[in-house]
Amino acid sequence: MTFLLSEGVEAQRFLNKLKDKTEDKILDNIFNDKNNQDQQSNPNNQSQNNTSGTQNTKGGGLENTAPDVLANIDAAGKSFDSKDYSNTRYSIRQAILGVELEIGKNILTSLPDKVGELSKEPETDNVTSTGIGFVGLTIERSYKKGDKELDMTIANNSALLSSVNMYLANGSYASTNNDQNYKQVTLQGYRGVIEYDESSGYTLSVPFGQSSILVLQGINFENEKEMMDIADNFKIDSIKKQLGEQ
Protein backbone atom coordinates (compact mmCIF):
# COMPACT_ATOMS: atom_id res chain seq x y z
CA MET A 1 0.00 0.00 0.00
CA THR A 2 2.91 2.39 0.80
CA PHE A 3 4.33 1.81 -2.69
CA LEU A 4 0.92 2.44 -4.22
CA LEU A 5 0.51 5.70 -2.32
CA SER A 6 3.95 6.88 -3.43
CA GLU A 7 3.01 6.11 -7.03
CA GLY A 8 -0.19 8.09 -6.61
CA VAL A 9 1.76 11.04 -5.18
CA GLU A 10 4.19 10.96 -8.11
CA ALA A 11 1.30 10.84 -10.54
CA GLN A 12 -0.36 13.82 -8.86
CA ARG A 13 2.90 15.77 -8.85
CA PHE A 14 3.32 15.21 -12.55
CA LEU A 15 -0.25 16.25 -13.29
CA ASN A 16 0.29 19.41 -11.22
CA LYS A 17 3.46 20.07 -13.21
CA LEU A 18 1.44 19.87 -16.41
CA LYS A 19 -1.10 22.32 -15.06
CA ASP A 20 1.60 24.75 -13.91
CA LYS A 21 3.59 24.70 -17.16
CA THR A 22 0.81 24.88 -19.71
CA GLU A 23 -2.28 26.81 -20.61
CA ASP A 24 -5.73 25.23 -20.49
CA LYS A 25 -5.90 25.00 -24.26
CA ILE A 26 -2.79 22.79 -24.31
CA LEU A 27 -4.25 20.49 -21.65
CA ASP A 28 -7.46 20.35 -23.65
CA ASN A 29 -5.41 19.26 -26.62
CA ILE A 30 -3.75 16.54 -24.56
CA PHE A 31 -6.96 15.11 -23.17
CA ASN A 32 -9.27 15.72 -26.12
CA ASP A 33 -10.61 12.37 -27.27
CA LYS A 34 -11.33 13.81 -30.69
CA ASN A 35 -7.66 14.45 -31.41
CA ASN A 36 -6.95 12.20 -34.37
CA GLN A 37 -3.23 12.25 -33.62
CA ASP A 38 -3.90 9.98 -30.66
CA GLN A 39 -4.98 7.11 -32.87
CA GLN A 40 -2.20 4.54 -32.80
CA SER A 41 -2.33 0.97 -33.94
CA ASN A 42 -2.31 -1.67 -31.20
CA PRO A 43 -1.68 -5.19 -32.46
CA ASN A 44 -3.01 -6.64 -29.20
CA ASN A 45 -6.45 -5.19 -29.94
CA GLN A 46 -6.66 -6.22 -33.57
CA SER A 47 -8.10 -9.53 -34.61
CA GLN A 48 -6.07 -11.46 -37.15
CA ASN A 49 -7.57 -13.93 -39.53
CA ASN A 50 -5.99 -17.34 -39.80
CA THR A 51 -5.55 -17.96 -43.51
CA SER A 52 -3.04 -20.81 -43.29
CA GLY A 53 -5.68 -23.48 -42.66
CA THR A 54 -3.74 -24.77 -39.63
CA GLN A 55 -5.60 -24.88 -36.33
CA ASN A 56 -3.89 -23.48 -33.27
CA THR A 57 -3.43 -26.14 -30.57
CA LYS A 58 -0.84 -24.48 -28.29
CA GLY A 59 -0.34 -21.25 -26.45
CA GLY A 60 -0.88 -19.89 -22.98
CA GLY A 61 -2.84 -16.78 -23.90
CA LEU A 62 -1.86 -13.31 -22.72
CA GLU A 63 -0.27 -12.42 -19.39
CA ASN A 64 -2.47 -10.41 -17.04
CA THR A 65 -0.13 -7.53 -16.22
CA ALA A 66 -0.98 -4.01 -15.08
CA PRO A 67 0.75 -0.96 -16.61
CA ASP A 68 3.99 0.11 -14.89
CA VAL A 69 2.97 3.33 -13.13
CA LEU A 70 6.39 4.92 -12.62
CA ALA A 71 7.61 3.97 -16.10
CA ASN A 72 4.55 5.59 -17.66
CA ILE A 73 4.95 8.75 -15.55
CA ASP A 74 8.53 8.99 -16.78
CA ALA A 75 7.42 8.43 -20.38
CA ALA A 76 4.74 11.09 -20.02
CA GLY A 77 7.31 13.62 -18.78
CA LYS A 78 9.62 12.96 -21.70
CA SER A 79 6.78 13.14 -24.22
CA PHE A 80 5.54 16.39 -22.69
CA ASP A 81 8.99 17.98 -22.80
CA SER A 82 9.21 17.10 -26.50
CA LYS A 83 5.68 18.51 -27.05
CA ASP A 84 4.38 15.07 -28.05
CA TYR A 85 1.01 15.63 -26.40
CA SER A 86 -0.65 12.58 -27.87
CA ASN A 87 1.82 10.20 -26.23
CA THR A 88 1.77 12.34 -23.08
CA ARG A 89 -1.92 11.72 -22.71
CA TYR A 90 -1.52 8.02 -23.46
CA SER A 91 1.20 7.57 -20.83
CA ILE A 92 -0.75 9.51 -18.20
CA ARG A 93 -3.80 7.35 -18.77
CA GLN A 94 -1.68 4.19 -18.54
CA ALA A 95 -0.24 5.42 -15.24
CA ILE A 96 -3.71 6.18 -13.86
CA LEU A 97 -4.93 2.79 -15.08
CA GLY A 98 -2.10 1.07 -13.21
CA VAL A 99 -2.91 2.95 -9.99
CA GLU A 100 -6.62 2.14 -10.26
CA LEU A 101 -6.01 -1.56 -10.85
CA GLU A 102 -3.77 -1.71 -7.76
CA ILE A 103 -6.40 0.10 -5.68
CA GLY A 104 -9.02 -2.38 -6.90
CA LYS A 105 -6.81 -5.33 -5.97
CA ASN A 106 -6.19 -3.86 -2.51
CA ILE A 107 -9.92 -3.45 -1.95
CA LEU A 108 -10.51 -7.10 -2.90
CA THR A 109 -7.80 -8.12 -0.44
CA SER A 110 -9.49 -6.13 2.33
CA LEU A 111 -12.88 -7.78 1.79
CA PRO A 112 -13.87 -10.80 3.92
CA ASP A 113 -13.10 -14.27 2.61
CA LYS A 114 -16.39 -15.47 4.05
CA VAL A 115 -19.76 -13.78 4.64
CA GLY A 116 -22.16 -15.79 6.75
CA GLU A 117 -21.97 -19.35 5.48
CA LEU A 118 -20.82 -18.28 2.01
CA SER A 119 -17.17 -18.53 0.95
CA LYS A 120 -15.52 -16.42 -1.74
CA GLU A 121 -14.98 -17.88 -5.18
CA PRO A 122 -11.39 -16.72 -5.94
CA GLU A 123 -11.75 -17.22 -9.68
CA THR A 124 -14.49 -14.59 -9.78
CA ASP A 125 -12.29 -11.78 -8.41
CA ASN A 126 -12.03 -9.15 -11.11
CA VAL A 127 -10.92 -5.53 -11.45
CA THR A 128 -11.45 -3.50 -14.61
CA SER A 129 -10.92 0.17 -15.34
CA THR A 130 -10.93 2.64 -18.20
CA GLY A 131 -8.00 4.47 -16.61
CA ILE A 132 -9.62 7.92 -16.61
CA GLY A 133 -9.98 8.76 -12.94
CA PHE A 134 -12.20 6.01 -11.51
CA VAL A 135 -14.81 6.50 -14.24
CA GLY A 136 -15.59 2.93 -15.19
CA LEU A 137 -13.66 1.29 -12.33
CA THR A 138 -15.38 -2.00 -11.45
CA ILE A 139 -14.48 -4.46 -8.68
CA GLU A 140 -16.23 -7.83 -8.57
CA ARG A 141 -16.36 -10.88 -6.32
CA SER A 142 -18.79 -13.78 -5.73
CA TYR A 143 -19.51 -15.84 -2.62
CA LYS A 144 -21.24 -19.19 -2.74
CA LYS A 145 -22.40 -22.26 -0.85
CA GLY A 146 -24.65 -24.83 -2.49
CA ASP A 147 -27.42 -23.05 -4.37
CA LYS A 148 -26.97 -19.83 -2.39
CA GLU A 149 -24.85 -17.11 -4.01
CA LEU A 150 -23.91 -13.49 -3.38
CA ASP A 151 -22.47 -11.40 -6.21
CA MET A 152 -20.72 -8.18 -5.17
CA THR A 153 -19.89 -5.23 -7.41
CA ILE A 154 -18.24 -1.93 -6.46
CA ALA A 155 -18.45 0.47 -9.36
CA ASN A 156 -18.41 3.97 -10.75
CA ASN A 157 -21.37 3.53 -13.08
CA SER A 158 -23.46 6.55 -14.03
CA ALA A 159 -26.39 4.42 -15.23
CA LEU A 160 -26.62 2.52 -11.94
CA LEU A 161 -26.23 5.69 -9.89
CA SER A 162 -28.90 7.55 -11.86
CA SER A 163 -31.41 4.74 -11.39
CA VAL A 164 -30.81 4.39 -7.65
CA ASN A 165 -30.73 8.14 -7.04
CA MET A 166 -34.07 8.42 -8.81
CA TYR A 167 -35.58 6.03 -6.28
CA LEU A 168 -33.92 7.81 -3.35
CA ALA A 169 -35.05 11.25 -4.50
CA ASN A 170 -38.69 10.18 -4.77
CA GLY A 171 -40.35 9.96 -1.37
CA SER A 172 -43.02 7.57 -2.67
CA TYR A 173 -40.42 4.84 -2.81
CA ALA A 174 -39.92 5.00 0.95
CA SER A 175 -43.04 2.96 1.63
CA THR A 176 -44.17 -0.30 0.05
CA ASN A 177 -47.33 -2.25 -0.58
CA ASN A 178 -48.05 -5.80 -1.65
CA ASP A 179 -47.43 -5.00 -5.31
CA GLN A 180 -44.14 -3.11 -4.81
CA ASN A 181 -40.91 -5.06 -5.12
CA TYR A 182 -38.42 -2.38 -4.06
CA LYS A 183 -37.97 0.02 -1.17
CA GLN A 184 -35.49 2.30 0.53
CA VAL A 185 -33.20 0.90 3.22
CA THR A 186 -30.22 2.11 5.23
CA LEU A 187 -26.91 0.23 5.44
CA GLN A 188 -24.23 1.53 7.82
CA GLY A 189 -25.74 5.00 7.64
CA TYR A 190 -25.95 5.06 3.82
CA ARG A 191 -29.32 5.13 2.08
CA GLY A 192 -29.90 2.54 -0.59
CA VAL A 193 -32.54 0.59 -2.47
CA ILE A 194 -33.35 -3.10 -2.12
CA GLU A 195 -35.30 -4.94 -4.80
CA TYR A 196 -36.72 -8.43 -5.07
CA ASP A 197 -37.40 -10.46 -8.18
CA GLU A 198 -38.62 -14.05 -8.16
CA SER A 199 -36.10 -15.13 -10.81
CA SER A 200 -33.00 -13.17 -9.73
CA GLY A 201 -33.55 -12.80 -5.98
CA TYR A 202 -32.54 -9.75 -3.92
CA THR A 203 -30.54 -6.79 -5.24
CA LEU A 204 -29.21 -4.17 -2.84
CA SER A 205 -27.76 -0.95 -4.30
CA VAL A 206 -26.05 1.56 -1.99
CA PRO A 207 -24.45 4.75 -3.39
CA PHE A 208 -21.58 6.26 -1.41
CA GLY A 209 -19.04 9.02 -1.81
CA GLN A 210 -19.28 11.26 -4.84
CA SER A 211 -19.71 8.69 -7.57
CA SER A 212 -19.43 5.12 -6.26
CA ILE A 213 -21.97 2.41 -5.60
CA LEU A 214 -22.04 -0.99 -3.89
CA VAL A 215 -24.33 -3.53 -5.53
CA LEU A 216 -25.07 -6.92 -3.94
CA GLN A 217 -27.20 -9.58 -5.59
CA GLY A 218 -28.37 -12.40 -3.36
CA ILE A 219 -29.68 -15.60 -4.92
CA ASN A 220 -31.74 -18.05 -2.86
CA PHE A 221 -31.71 -15.97 0.31
CA GLU A 222 -34.53 -16.72 2.74
CA ASN A 223 -35.69 -13.15 3.33
CA GLU A 224 -34.78 -9.48 3.37
CA LYS A 225 -33.26 -9.65 6.87
CA GLU A 226 -30.81 -12.36 5.83
CA MET A 227 -29.80 -10.28 2.82
CA MET A 228 -29.24 -7.15 4.91
CA ASP A 229 -27.28 -9.07 7.56
CA ILE A 230 -24.94 -10.42 4.86
CA ALA A 231 -24.54 -6.95 3.35
CA ASP A 232 -23.34 -5.59 6.68
CA ASN A 233 -20.10 -7.57 6.21
CA PHE A 234 -18.97 -5.06 3.57
CA LYS A 235 -17.62 -2.01 5.38
CA ILE A 236 -18.54 0.91 3.17
CA ASP A 237 -16.45 3.50 5.04
CA SER A 238 -13.32 1.41 4.50
CA ILE A 239 -14.06 0.94 0.78
CA LYS A 240 -14.82 4.63 0.45
CA LYS A 241 -11.52 5.59 2.08
CA GLN A 242 -9.50 3.28 -0.17
CA LEU A 243 -11.16 4.78 -3.25
CA GLY A 244 -10.34 8.29 -2.02
CA GLU A 245 -14.02 9.24 -2.12
CA GLN A 246 -15.24 12.25 -0.12
Q: Where are the domains of the chain?
A: 2-39+65-105, 113-243
How confident is the prediction for the chain on average, in pLDDT?
A: 78
Rounded to whole angstroms, how far apart are CA atoms 71 and 144?
A: 39
Q: What is the mean pLDDT of residues 124-141?
A: 79
pLDDT tens-digit readout, 84-127: 988 888 888 888 888 888 888 999 999 999 999 999 999 999 99
Give the pLDDT of residue 13: 53
pLDDT tens-digit readout, 21-60: 443 444 455 455 444 444 444 444 445 556 667 888 888 7
Lowest model confidence (mean pLDDT) among 24-33, 48-57, 67-76, 224-233: 24-33
Q: What does each C-alpha distance from 211 to 9, 46, 129, 207 come to in angstroms? A: 22, 33, 15, 7
Give the pLDDT of residue 25: 46
Predicted confidence band at 158 (pLDDT cuts at 50, 70, 90)?
A: low
- Residue 125 neighbours by CB under 8 Å, 6+ apart: 108, 140, 141
- On the question of pLDDT at 20 being above 50, the answer is no
Predicted confidence band at 217 (pLDDT cuts at 50, 70, 90)?
A: very high
Single out the residue of 123, 116, 114, 75 nearest to residue 220, CA to CA.
116
User: Vertex 242, ends 241 and 246: CA angle to 5°?
Assistant: 35
Predicted confidence band at 64 (pLDDT cuts at 50, 70, 90)?
A: low
The identity of residue 125, as a single letter, is D
Rounded to whole angstroms, how far apart are CA atoms 207 and 211?
A: 7
